[in-house]
Amino acid sequence: MIKLKRNLINSILQPSILVYCTIFSIFIYQTIDSYKYTNNNLMDKLTFTKPCPEDDYRFHNATGNFLCVVPTAKLCFKLCQKLGCTEWYYMSFIPSGSNVIKNYHRCRCFPEYHFCFYNSVPRRYRNFD
């Protein structure tokens, strides 16, 4: 009797586990594919240039990026604060008060979240070396 119950339970559980794994895999695939499309679509339209303090580093409203690279994290944070981004991103490896010059770093502000980001610009998105 116990063996019959175990066989019945196994015959029910195995297909349902397979169905859940399949649904989960499809969800993960769609999420990753959607993220890649959306992220690449936004970045493909951007080109970062050398620092341009005379243009106030050209803020791009749609993406929150300053389209001119910003040489220091300290300057980036000041630019972000002007736009309402008063929180330095907690996972950033560079402190907000750093004066170390970074030639290929961008500054990004998300006003709706009040976060300021500072990270490197991939070569394909900048028009200088």
CA torsion through residues 46, 103, 77, 68, sign: negative
> From CA 123, how far away is CA 52, in angstroms rounded?
18
Q: Give pLDDT, residue 73.
A: 97
Task: Return the pLDDT at 30.
Answer: 62
Categorize the per-residue pLDDT at 108 as very low, low, confident or very high, splitting at 50, 70 and 90. Answer: very high
Report the pLDDT value the prediction gives residue 62, as an integer from 0 to 100: 87
> What does pTM read for this prediction?
0.67
Mean pLDDT (whole number) for 15-43: 61
pLDDT value of position 35: 47
Q: Whole-angstrom Cα distance, residue 14 to residue 24?
A: 15
- Is 16 a residue whose pLDDT tops 80? no
Q: Where are the domains of the chain?
A: 1-44, 53-125
